[in-house]
Amino acid sequence: MELIKGDIPKKYFNELATWLDQEQAFDKAQHEALLLQRSVQERIALGVTWFPIAITDSELGRGDYLTITVSKTTHPEEGHRFRYGMPVSLFSNHNPRQDRLQGIIAFASRDTLRISFRVDELPAWSRGGRLGIDLLFDENSYKEMHRALDEANLALTDKKQGYLVRQLLGGPDVRETASNPVYENDRLNPSQNKAIAHILGENPLSLLHGPPGTGKTTTLIYAVQELLKQRPQQLLIVAPSNTAVDVLTERLDAAGVSVVRIGNPVKVSDHLQELTLDAQVDNHAAHKTIKTLEKQARAYVDMAHKYKRNFGKAERDQRKALFDEARKIRKEIDRMLDYIVQDVFTKAQVITATLVGANHYTIRDRRYKTVIIDEAAQALEPACWIPILKADRVVLAGDHCQLPPTVKSNHQTSKGLYHTLFEKLIAQHPNHVSLLDVQYRMNAQIMKYPSLALYADRLQAAPTVAHWTLQGDDSPIMFIDTAGAGYEETVVDHAISNRDEAHFLCNHLASFVADLNISPTDHAFPSIGIITPYRAQSLYLREIIAQDDRLQPYTKQLQVNTIDSFQGQEKDVIYISLTRSNAKQEIGFLADTRRMNVAMTRARKKLIVIGNSSTIGYHDFYGGFLDYIDSLARHRSVWEWIS
């Protein structure tokens, strides 16, 4: 779906809503099948179930919700998918299908959850047997996205509210680029200064295009500081993932900006927790009064719970009176909390949240002169409209040449929800685009091909990194060709792997670390990442590397994962296992060159790509890569090591 010049038909948002419906139906079916068809142990391994759990605290919370605190009792180190605001179900192992109570996560950490239930007390079955928590399908995110699309559709015909919407979509009242102020900062390069100048202007839209290693986040932080300095205002800064929001929150705080984080951070950091709305409310001077009132409310609830279940009318009336008294106190607490929350927000310069978190009940009705969306190229378009509808002007930052958003229902990567708002706006409003063109991560030879293939050869390496290599190494980039070696891929239940290629990589890696002649405990030992597009290949690589005695001393320095999991990371050395090797030249995932861009640009000082040239060479991107490798005389054959 392209953007439209002239009148914007209603079908624009209707089409988005249709695609979102498809995604929601597919996502829900997948999640429900997971809960129904997988065992408890499988669900635990997938991070959607905690079992068994221990209830460590309970209290009557905001809005008459019973809030309980639960902790893992086994495997506290394992990751999970539980996040703030998601729906969950408390269940008993006696009758897990029927003994269930639904609630909402009020807090989530590595091994602790606080869950709110709309009941006075837990059901009787919760006091017998072992309890667990299942993560339910998150309808709320989809509801918020649908609500935003409906509001955006209505805004098209509203002269005032729809002004920004029409401008973004190329409507008749789109404004030409306004003149920008001059901004010069000696700590930044010219492209970063130019980008900040554009953000400081009166433009309704700024697009910050930040290729890998070009300092996009640094540029945003300086832009925020200057916006706050030149015209004091409260900013809303959002991103599609909690991890990205955490990074921005920490960087803003380190820069001396007063920031409030909506929701719970994914990162386990005491300081980051202190920046959350909950923590700032708890630390507010007026919160001492709330603590006193909460003790009173808890006392009434405790007295009510002392009555047994089989009692007469008098006892029932007394129990009800005690609960009513607790509710009265709770309403007073809620009024005080509202005051504290508003006071915290009044003093904040920046509010940070996920895209959906921008509609958190505490900030749902707030408007902002400027809204900044980071990692916009990884965001579903319907989610972007949630914060945009709160803005007078908007800044989108990202790189549409890296990973696209996660779309489960459609694998045609050029259609539907894969085609992001950031991408559309870059094409529609080139005068509003600021490209950061100096990268501070990679040796120039590693950078050159992604720059040629995806960035019109506009990137340059900063002098500090342009020529850096591993000590004694003169080959920062290399392609090892497996053509003719018989390393054929295998497909099992749609999972693709290449065991021969994996074993070769393992052997090459063992020789490589031995030749470094550096102790793995020495700070000079390089960080090493092993990347592949395929999960089955990454799992097999992880398995054989863990079993290889030659690599045992180096396991802490090695990280093996899929490309998607490496987004945002960088290593001194990167191995890429392309995996695909077949006579039909089928390359599947590899055809999405954005993924390969991410993989190649994770490397700082050395990049080693292993694959079959006869399988990948027919694709323009890989054919061009092989030509580039040949021009450097870095095309090697696997036979050089086999023989």
Say yes or no to pLDDT of 525 above 90: yes
Name 101's Cβ contacts closer than 8 Å, sequence gap at least 6: 89, 90, 91, 117, 119, 122, 123, 126
Burial of 603-638, coded b for 16+ CB within 10 Å and e otherwise, reads bbbbbbbbbbbebbbebebbeebbebbeeeebbbbb
**Exposed, middle or buried, 9 (CB in 10 Å: 0-12/13-18/19+)?**
exposed
**Pick from 383, 384, 350: nearest CA to 366:** 350
Residues 495 and 615 in one domain: yes
User: What average pLDDT does the segment 338-351 reach?
Assistant: 93
Looking at residue 27, its amino acid is D
Does the residue 125 lie in any domain? yes
Pairwise CA distance, residues 597 & 401, whole Å: 7
Pull the structure tokens for residue 351.
């509010």
Query: Do residues 494 and 621 both lie within one domain?
Result: yes
User: Could you tell me if 628 and 567 lie in one domain?
Assistant: yes
Could you tell me the sign of the dihedral formed by the alpha carbons of 169, 170, 174, 179, in that order? positive
Structural domains of the chain, count: 4
Q: Which of 315, 346, 377 is the last residue of a domain?
A: 346
On whether the CB atoms of residues 393 and 386 are closer than 8 A, the answer is no
Question: What CA–CA distance (Å, rounded) separates 370 from 200?
Answer: 10
Q: Which of 428, 437, 433, 429 is nearest to 456 (CA)?
A: 437
Q: Give me the pLDDT at residue 176, please.
A: 55
Helical axes 620-631 vs 444-454, angle rounded to 10°: 150
pTM over 0.75: yes
pLDDT at 358 over 60: yes
Cβ of 5: how many Cβ atoms within 10 Å? 12
Average pLDDT of 333-349? 90
Query: At residue 552, what are phi and psi to the nearest 5 degrees?
Result: -55, -45
Inside any domain, residue 276? no
Percent of the chain surpassing pLDDT 90: 66
Q: How many C-beta neighbours within 10 Å does residue 76 have?
A: 10
Q: Can you tell me the mean pLDDT for 452-474?
A: 96
Contact between 369 and 237 (Cβ < 8 Å): no
Residues 413 and 447 occupy one common structural domain: no
Listing DSSP states for 207-235 in one string gives EEE--TTS-HHHHHHHHHHHHHHHS---E
Q: List the beta bridge partners of residue 201.
A: none
pLDDT digits (tens, 9 = 90+) for 582-624: 999 999 989 989 999 999 999 999 999 999 999 999 999 999 9
Output helix, strand, coil percentages for the chain, rounded to the nearest 5.
Answer: 45, 20, 35
Task: For residue 576, give the CATH number of its domain.
Answer: 3.40.50.300
- 306 or 236, which is more confident: 236
The sign one gets for the Cα dihedral 343, 245, 406, 89 is: negative
Task: Give the burial class of 201: count Cβ atoms within 10 A of its Cβ; 0-12 exposed, 13-18 middle, 19 or more buried.
Answer: middle
Instruction: Determine, yes or no, domain membership for 317.
Output: yes
pLDDT at 173: 43
**Structural domain for 79, as ranges:** 39-137
Share of the chain above pLDDT 70, in %: 94
Predicted pLDDT of residue 286 = 84
Q: How far apart are CA 243 and CA 249, in angstroms?
A: 10
Task: Indicate the residue among 98, 119, 137 that finishes a domain.
Answer: 137
Burial class (CB in 10 A: 0-12, 13-18, 19+), 507: middle
* Nearest residue to 293 via CA among 332, 350, 338, 245: 332
Residue 254 CB neighbour total at 10 angstroms: 10
Inform me whether the pLDDT recorded for 8 exceeds 60.
no
Q: What's the first-to-final CA gap in the chain, in angstroms?
A: 53
| Together in a domain, 467 and 549 | yes
Q: Is residue 164 included in any domain, yes or no?
A: yes
Given the structure tokens 């001393």, which residue do they identify?
553
Please state the rounded mean pLDDT for residues 559-578: 93
Residue 420 included in any domain: yes
> Is 540 part of any domain?
yes
Residue pair 351/224 in contact by the 8 Å Cβ criterion? no
Residue 57, domain CATH: 2.40.30.270
214 plus 115 within the same structural domain: no
**Segment 153-185, tens digit of pLDDT:** 988 887 777 888 888 887 544 455 556 788 999
Q: Does residue 27 sit within a domain?
A: no
| Of the candidate ranges 169-173, 299-303, 349-353, the one whose mean pLDDT is the lowest | 169-173
Q: Which amino acid is at 389?
A: L
Contacts of residue 312, Cβ cutoff 8 Å, sequence gap at least 6? none
- Do 389 and 496 fall within a single domain? no
Residue 631 lies in a domain: yes
Contacts of 616 by beta carbon, 8 Å cutoff, 6+ apart: 578, 580, 585, 587, 590, 622, 626
Residues 314 and 356 placed together within one structural domain of the fold: no
Do 523 and 622 have their domain in common? yes
Structure tokens, 85: 């605001």
Going by pLDDT thresholds of 50, 70 and 90, the confidence category of residue 296 is confident
The token duo for 440 is 């501070």
Residue 337 sits at φ, ψ, to 5 deg, of -60, -40
For the chain, the average pLDDT equals 90
- 585 and 524 within one domain: yes
Q: Are residue 354 and residue 374 in the same domain, yes or no?
A: yes
| Cα–Cα distance, 223 to 217 (Å, whole number) | 10
